[in-house]
Structure 1
């Protein structure tokens, strides 16, 4: 145990921005046909290094068929909460769930280039202790590790609703379900919180039969995917309010609250509006009377396309929807990055006024129809997907795979894994870094990224920025 708090824990987002820059990134690799074990890549992101943009170390798991998707740290800046009993934890372990296998790996990265498996939690233990399956998002809280799930019990994950469970942040034992009263919540995806204000926000994707074998067109057109966000009393573990964004706003995914806990607002990305194929961003906020509200503040239009250039799933629409599949917010709460996986675009919005975002920058790369190449001339298969921002806000990293079966529907054929980075201008704007391109082993795809020392979709801050 440390005798002082981990130096990568910061009281406020502003102080985190002033910390050391990242030299390493950790990126998940998945085998889409499940013929190889999934893995973790440790990547050099130091521009002065001779191995810049190279995989320095790879750790592959002992099992096949896990389908790595999202992952997170055992501990982060939330450990500095005055309510915690764990202020002296280390940011040492990565918790990696298999979304398809329901198996969880705890990886020791104290020595990143010697990363090793510390513990494996088998699916039976997860089912037995929680009744949940398909673990998805990891967030380190003041007193434990919170894990959202996409499935309930039973073979197809529909025996009861999915939810959140908690793990001990030192032993990694599964403690049990989070929810005392889930209210209207019956699907799950992402979650995040405002710790000092003591509330949590969660979102919805769909149940396992709606995503595991690919998107179900009939369910999408019938508006049967998730379209609500839920607000919780964090400590009471009780759903206090649900906002339906409208059934046409299908798949309300990433939740991104303001990093400064003095601010009571945040953003949620919606994949597609079934009435017009738009992607959208909703701003949610807490009103003076304590209730929550939400309003659509960004819309992104589809792009017309010849049916011959489209996958079977989209031929009847004669257009490419943007497919907003990830969003991320810089630590100064200034720029929101929106991945348009379908059209092959990364958008940057100035959200200094969260109710009136303004487009500040855009990069085109990949895309179902455009297939825009990287500045180095290489083809970027698929489109921009999982986004991660450096703590200082000067670099934005992203990969290109969404989910194996969905990749195959929207981008038939193997397109190869990639990870790229764009530099951010002082007043906004994005420029792809020509010299940063990560090649991954053949047969793998790349998904979520974590940065050494924390990043913009990892840490929860307990104190306002001065």
Structure 2
């Protein structure tokens, strides 16, 4: 009898099939030590409402080093492994690849055989990454058809400014660093997020800043001089070649999260922009491809909120207002709802993007905020504001944490941002409600950043086949 290789059951060919899968029972949350006095950690959180330990930390795995500043981690493999071009049916969604943005280390956790007990199985030191790629400050991990893609924010040298940052590839089984992804970089000089449409064979990337502009906090002079990133870059995915840049305008500072439509027949996506330096508003942009050329348009804006100077941190006192500071966006698997985290004003917004060129505000909750300090429905304090967002595959739950980056946390929230994870429930026809029963307190010693859901989520998997 000949046995055939079967793909991991958590690899779903289409977004609709992923939405119909079993709900998550646990999630993994990156914890960081704001003052670097202790190692960062990976927390395992119970998200099963039928469990007696619901909304608690089941386990915390401390790292062996200090000062890593864990950031946007991801899986070794996901639904992209079903790509007919370079599919790997034998892979499993098993390993979490966790970047240390400040230390430039990478960690590999094995979540098998017990997903609630991840084990650190490999550490990739900064020296190896730099030697093989010339890059530093790893930031975002995405699993692709042929390997693990890691974006970086720095090049070589002590301050990471010797050469531009980019993307490097790791082997998805041995976790060996293979080298730079780019063959033809074009004019790209800054980096942040990236994602793709696999069947359409293109990648999109965005820009934040170089290390001296973020590691010790926001540099106000650079921001007001429009020296942060403000462009989108488009790439031929298979040829690894830069094909087009769209400059959003220098006043649109910090072009961050990229969220392409999950249905691969749809050639559009969304981008969050942190701040417009002419008026402090944040914005959401829609990008699309038409007749072989990419375009981008601002399709939603979020205004700053006036506040008395005595309610503002020193950085904002002169403005008399709190900018929304859109720090994350996330798109539901059915491509219907876009969630927007306004970390400054303490608001999580839900937009109906059924028409991607005309987002319509469909729901909103308030929690935290620089000036408002809105409490959780339980009456408990919530430092910071909604920051990293993760949506359940079925679109019914939206998890979020509250820490952006340790030095930025201290600038905007000088009273501290104790690590917390909360969750909103989504109404049948849209709308958001904060769940009273779900509030995970990681303690004042930790900030809480990226969340990954068991079995995949809305910002890990890219799909190769459209839904019926």
Give TM class, smaller chain: over 0.9
Question: Residue deviations 1:167-215, cap 9 Å, x none?
Answer: 0001100000011111111000000000000000000000000000000
- Report if the CA contact (8 A) 2:200-2:264 is conserved: yes
Q: CA deviation at 1:118?
A: 1.2
2:168 is matched with: 165
Q: Among 206, 219, 222, which residue is 2:222 paired with?
A: 219
Contact 1:2-1:90 within 8 A present in 2 as well: no
**Corresponding residue for 1:193?**
196
Residue 269 of structure 2 corresponds to which residue in structure 1? 266
Measure, in 2, the Cα distance between the counterparts of 1:253 and 1:62: 30
Say which SS state the counterpart of residue 218 (structure 1) adopts.
helix
Q: What is the rounded CA distance, in whole Å, between the counterparts of 2:216 and 2:165 in structure 1?
A: 18
- Please say which of residues 413-422 and 276-285 is displaced more in the overlay: 413-422
Cα contact 1:2–1:88 (8 A) shared by 2: no
Q: Report if the CA contact (8 A) 2:5-2:89 is conserved.
A: no
Question: How does 1:407-418 map onto structure 2 within 5 Å?
Answer: 407-418=409-420
In the aligned structure 2, how far is the partner of 1:254 from the partner of 1:465?
Answer: 25
Give the secondary structure class of the aligned counterpart of 1:86. coil
Match of 1:254 in 2: 257
Whether the aligned pair in 1 keeps the contact of 2:150 and 2:167 (CA below 8 Å) is yes
Distance 1:20 1:2, change over 3 A: farther
Q: Secondary structure at the match of 1:102?
A: coil
Measured after TM superposition, the shift of residue 2 of structure 1 is: 9.3
**Contact 1:2/1:89 (8 A) holds in 2:** no
Structure 2: gaps of 5 or more residues: none
- Counterpart for residue 106 of structure 1: 108
Task: Answer yes or no: is the 8 Å Cα contact 2:417–2:444 preserved in 1.
Answer: no
When residues 186 and 2 of structure 1 are mapped into structure 2, their CA distance, relative to the original with a 3 A threshold, is farther
Q: CA deviation at 1:85?
A: 4.1
TM-score (norm 2): 0.98
Q: Which runs of 5+ in 1 are unaligned?
A: none
The one of 223, 236, 240 aligned to 1:237: 240
Whether contact under 8 Å (2:403, 2:417) holds in the other structure is no
Moved over 4 A (4+): none
Instruction: Show the 5 A alignment for 1:63-462.
Output: 63-110=65-112, 111-287=114-290, 289-462=291-464
Task: Name the structure 2 match of 1:60.
Answer: 62
In 1, the alpha carbon distance for the partners of 2:4 and 2:73 equals 24
Q: Residue deviations 1:33-86, cap 9 Å, x none?
A: 111000000000000111100000111111111010110000000000001241
For normalisation by structure 1, the TM-score amounts to 0.99
